[in-house]
Structure 1
Amino acid sequence: MGQNTDRRALVRDRFDRAVGYEGAATMQRVAAQRLFEKLQERMEGRVPLRILELGCGTGFLTEKLRNAWPQADIVATDIAPHMLERAQQRVGEGLCYRIMDAGEPDVSGPFDIVCGNLVFQWLEHPQQAIARLGRLLSPGGILALSTLMDGTFQEWRTACAVEHEESGTPDYPSAASIGEWYPSLFNGGWETEACVQTFSNGRAFLRHLKETGASVPRAGYRPMQLSALRRSLARFDAQGSVVTWRLAYGCFQKPPRAGVFITGTDTGVGKTFVSACLVKAWEALYWKPLQSGLAEEAGDTPTILSLTHCAPEDCLPPAGAFQAPLSPEAAARAEGVTIDPASLALRMQEPERPMVVEGAGGLMVPATETLMMCDLAAQWGLPVVLVARSGLGTLNHTLLSLEALRQRGIAMAGVVLNGPLNPANRETITEKGKVRILAEIPFQADVSAQSVEGIAQTLPSWADVRGGA
């Protein structure tokens, strides 16, 4: 269930009766504007064809969606029928208005955008709902959410606590909990902000909660005695009748196609061998966007052909190939060439078939004059497989690489450890890096098609890696 049945009915009833919502919902308007701006930024000028909005309320966000993308088919939903009626009055006809619990989406995708403003703090199982919603998105689609978080209305809670009373305001999710709300293999992340709102007095604050439908108490709360309420209100007024709203905004993008981006903690860790094993295991396409060092070797694309015996057309040609054994940017400059970033657009042949995209060196290797390899990883939107050594020195390199990926909101498919089995390093990387170890590949004295075939049989399937994405 999206919520406990009794509590869901209570939430629906309170919002249905929130007749003063339009005039009182100041912060709801602010949050809708912020979420819309983040959504527009993530869309990068693309035009959506279908949009699903969760918990539309009286239509603050709905109106912005309609004005920005008038050609889109918008499905606006809310659990409260009267809220939907007010949204329709605000935005008008031409949209599909539908009663729906955000925790139990019962619509058919795909959608280019799924969004919801200040909805997820009401759900009993938000991560499960997010996973369901992710499956409703089209490739490259955006999931954009905002929620209240722990610390909201702390001033009122403190005033009550000083008077040895408990506030009835809900226990909103913590930042740590919200950080675990994301669709598997989607790029993106959460940002937070604090907004302060001043009321004329404590009674005006409590009236505001009622007018916006947010007066649903937390489970098990027992209302204060009138005398205790008066003391708490007096304490709140003495503190300035101010409350802080703590908000979190999450924007996540579904991978635009099936596949992974292969990078390493540094050069020479075995990216190409691992790429070959994945190509073989998944019957995948292969693309090495930028190749350098051709003066000293044949290059990775011919190596993949030799190791996997895949069809030549399954190995897509590089966008740039250079002689010097340097970073792509430096190798291109040595030849008097400038790499055009437009040539590095993700290849979309057979988009439902996995593609193994192999980077050059590690994440911080310059790819062009303006882009590092990590920038390309973010641009392509594919989950990353990080190849690392299994032995001494790997912890620092691996954990730093994982941190760099997370700071950029790049999804991780997992880590592959190359070399002698090292249970201690595996455990540390799993625990400290909060990442899946996809495989541990022992040292291969003979790198050949036969060894690739053997390792490929031990790797997880593409369906297993993809999961519910």
Structure 2
Amino acid sequence: MTPTPSTPRAALIGRSFDNAERYDTAAVVQRLSAGELAAEIAHALAAGAWPAHEAEHGPARILEIGCGTGLLTEQLHARWPQAEIVATDYSPRMVARARDRMAAFLPDRHRAMFHVMDATRPDVDGPFDVICGNMVLQWLENPAEVLQKLAVLLAPGGLLGVSTLLGGTFAQWRAACAAEGAQAATPTYPNAKTVAGWTPYPCSGAWRVARYEQVFPTGLDFLRHLKTTGAAVPREGGGRLSVGQIRRAADRLNAGGGAISWELAYGCFRRPPRQGVFVTGTDTGVGKTLISACLVQRWQALYWKPLQSGLAEDEGDTATVARLVPGAHCFPPAGAYQAPLSPQAAARAQAEQVDPARLALPLAEPHRPLVVEGAGGLMVPATDEMMMIDLAALWGLPVVLVARSGLGTLNHTLLSLGALRERGIAVAGVVLNGPANPENRRTIESLGKVRILAEIPWCEDVTPRTLAELAARLPSWEETFAPSWPGGRTGT
């Protein structure tokens, strides 16, 4: 059954791809991109802290949007033949072609399902370990919204991998048309900065830009290519070129050698493997443990301090949280050391080493929030090879950044936010510790493009009672994460 078109343009796009009978003969870059995307997904799966069944056997369920004739479907099956693949496309004829292509590869038909679906209105049941789509986002009216909807269908720790065309695509053709006083009818694709804002929250991940070049015998062959692959749908609101303008622009393209550029962005985004946050600070002593205890109290969360040093001088953060939040469930540290140094240096002072194998994220009670407190700031060495920011990336939990409210906080806070974004780590928000400073708050919100979760005043004597009062200033778990974790604390 063909879905009802969401817009007249969606109907036009669907008809164009329905009529692309010779798609496979012309889809050179599309085939290349499918292979690249499959490789990106495989690399991301291997690099992350994925659920055990994925790490050992690969994904069990895969949803593909915009499957076309099955170029990516074939790649997915080759890499993960055990996976159940649900291949979908808006075009019924494209779905039929994908089914025909995969018939030879999928004799066990229960492992593949081919379904006509509008990606803007997904009608399949999750969860999926992988959701992917090759060169499809540029056809959607609101790609960021679609990615957010799809992320909800991911299993905890699941991966969303997509590719899309960028603004540099077909630059030579646009320049040839402009030289004839006309604007090319090809769609206007987004730039890399716009696409960077399509990251679904609270997933972690990043976009990578790639460029390809395809040479056509003549400019008219390029236009025939667009029609053959179903990509000749003109940009919305654009005018048509005259026959003369098209021929003259094609001649200009010929004179330039017939080369056409394709600019693509590849994005891979992982849903957190469980509900929780990673608490880090802009510096040592900014109040990470206080804020962690507040979050444990506010969310009735679990607590884990993976690496604890400085036990020669105080009781340690796990004991502090247990004292301030009576009844809190605290996981034991993976490493506990006496010297007030970085975990790496403190372990070495005891003739020990931090064991990376013990740094696996606790997955007990996965639908109950877990507050993970880091040691020092993001660039503090955790092991001989990893800093705290590397652990944050590995665990995949959104970050709560604790910062001082006063003088000096802007530089430290904005640098920390920049480092997190550079690594593709989701940021849940910033907590400011100390006297209220409206100007610093506004600057961090504006330049850091981040939410201030709370401003926590300095408190001379922190007791379980005063901590509960401070915790009430923080948003509830549902207020912070409900859009991305349907059903609030119950998860999916």
Q: TM-score, structure 1 length as denominator?
A: 0.98
Counterpart of 2:215 in structure 1 is 198
What are the residue-to-residue correspondences of 1:281-296 with 2, within 5 Å? Answer: 281-296=298-313
Q: Which amino acid aligns with 1:27?
A: V
User: In structure 2, what is the Cα distance between the partners aligned to 1:187 and 1:272?
Assistant: 24
Counterpart of 2:11 in structure 1 is 9
Q: Helix, strand or coil for the counterpart of 2:354?
A: coil
Q: Which amino acid aligns with 1:107?
A: V
Asked if residue 39 in structure 1 is aligned to residue 41 in structure 2, the reply is yes
> Equivalent of 1:405, from 412, 420, 433?
420
Counterpart of 2:287 in structure 1 is 270
Counterpart of 1:376 in structure 2 is 391
Asked if residue 344 in structure 1 is aligned to residue 346 in structure 2, the reply is no
Q: Helix, strand or coil for the counterpart of 1:71?
A: coil
Contact kept in structure 2, 1:387 and 1:415, CA below 8 Å? yes
Counterpart of 1:323 in structure 2 is 338
Contact kept in structure 1, 2:456 and 2:473, CA below 8 Å? no
Asked if residue 233 in structure 1 is aligned to residue 243 in structure 2, the reply is no
Residue 451 of structure 1 deviates from its aligned partner by 1.7
> Equivalent of 1:53, from 41, 44, 64?
64
Contact kept in structure 1, 2:210 and 2:265, CA below 8 Å? yes
User: In structure 2, what is the Cα distance between the partners aligned to 1:225 and 1:371?
Assistant: 60
Contact kept in structure 2, 1:418 and 1:442, CA below 8 Å? yes
Q: Helix, strand or coil for the counterpart of 2:248?
A: helix
> Equivalent of 2:21, from 10, 19, 26?
19
Residue 123 of structure 1 deviates from its aligned partner by 0.4
What are the residue-to-residue correspondences of 1:167-206 with 2, within 5 Å? Answer: 167-206=184-223
Q: Which amino acid aligns with 1:389?
A: R
User: In structure 1, what is the Cα distance between the partners aligned to 2:284 and 2:239?
Assistant: 62
Contact kept in structure 2, 1:15 and 1:213, CA below 8 Å? yes
> Equivalent of 1:279, from 280, 296, 320?
296
Counterpart of 1:86 in structure 2 is 97
Contact kept in structure 1, 2:5 and 2:11, CA below 8 Å? no
Deviations 1:93-136 (A, max 9, x none): 42100001111111110101100000000000111111110110
Q: Which amino acid aligns with 1:196?
A: E
Contact kept in structure 2, 1:49 and 1:73, CA below 8 Å? yes
Residue 166 of structure 1 deviates from its aligned partner by 1.4
User: In structure 1, what is the Cα distance between the partners aligned to 2:4 and 2:239?
Assistant: 24
Stretches of structure 2 lacking an aligned partner (at least 5 in a row): 47-53, 485-492
Contact kept in structure 2, 1:276 and 1:308, CA below 8 Å? yes
Deviations 1:433-464 (A, max 9, x none): 11111111111122221221101112100111
Q: Which moved more, 1:64-73 or 1:293-302?
A: 64-73
Q: Which amino acid aligns with 1:80?
A: S
User: In structure 2, what is the Cα distance between the partners aligned to 1:227 and 1:203?
Assistant: 12
Contact kept in structure 2, 1:3 and 1:123, CA below 8 Å? no
Q: Helix, strand or coil for the counterpart of 2:273?
A: coil
Deviations 1:42-81 (A, max 9, x none): 1116311111000001111101111211111110001111
Asked if residue 261 in structure 1 is aligned to residue 278 in structure 2, the reply is yes
CA RMSD of aligned residues (A): 1.3
Shift of the 161–3 alpha-carbon distance from structure 1 to 2, 3 Å rule, reads farther
Shift of the 2–332 alpha-carbon distance from structure 1 to 2, 3 Å rule, reads farther
User: In structure 1, what is the Cα distance between the partners aligned to 2:182 and 2:93?
Assistant: 34
Counterpart of 2:146 in structure 1 is 129
Asked if residue 114 in structure 1 is aligned to residue 125 in structure 2, the reply is no
Deviations 1:382-407 (A, max 9, x none): 11000000111001100111111111
> Equivalent of 1:356, from 368, 371, 375?
371
Residue 231 of structure 1 deviates from its aligned partner by 1.4
Q: Which amino acid aligns with 1:368?
A: T
Residue 2 of structure 1 deviates from its aligned partner by 10
Contact kept in structure 2, 1:3 and 1:125, CA below 8 Å? no
> Equivalent of 1:30, from 29, 32, 38?
32
Contact kept in structure 1, 2:69 and 2:97, CA below 8 Å? yes
Residue 410 of structure 1 deviates from its aligned partner by 0.8
Q: Helix, strand or coil for the counterpart of 2:235?
A: coil
Counterpart of 1:387 in structure 2 is 402
User: In structure 2, what is the Cα distance between the partners aligned to 1:97 and 1:255?
Assistant: 28
Counterpart of 2:114 in structure 1 is 97
Counterpart of 2:82 in structure 1 is 71
Residue 194 of structure 1 deviates from its aligned partner by 1.1
Q: Which amino acid aligns with 2:343?
A: P
Counterpart of 2:49 in structure 1 is none
User: In structure 2, what is the Cα distance between the partners aligned to 1:461 and 1:125?
Assistant: 29
Q: Helix, strand or coil for the counterpart of 2:202?
A: coil
Contact kept in structure 1, 2:309 and 2:339, CA below 8 Å? yes
Asked if residue 455 in structure 1 is aligned to residue 491 in structure 2, the reply is no
Counterpart of 2:487 in structure 1 is none
Q: Helix, strand or coil for the counterpart of 1:221?
A: coil
User: In structure 2, what is the Cα distance between the partners aligned to 1:359 and 1:310?
Assistant: 22
Q: Helix, strand or coil for the counterpart of 2:376?
A: strand
Say how many residue pairs are matched: 467
Counterpart of 2:483 in structure 1 is 468
Q: Which amino acid aligns with 2:94?
A: M
Q: TM-score, structure 2 length as denominator?
A: 0.93
Deviations 1:329-355 (A, max 9, x none): 100011011111010000111010001
User: In structure 2, what is the Cα distance between the partners aligned to 1:444 and 1:243?
Assistant: 63
> Equivalent of 1:301, from 318, 325, 333?
318
Q: Which amino acid aligns with 1:429?
A: I
Q: Which amino acid aligns with 2:182?
A: E
User: In structure 1, what is the Cα distance between the partners aligned to 2:137 and 2:221?
Assistant: 26
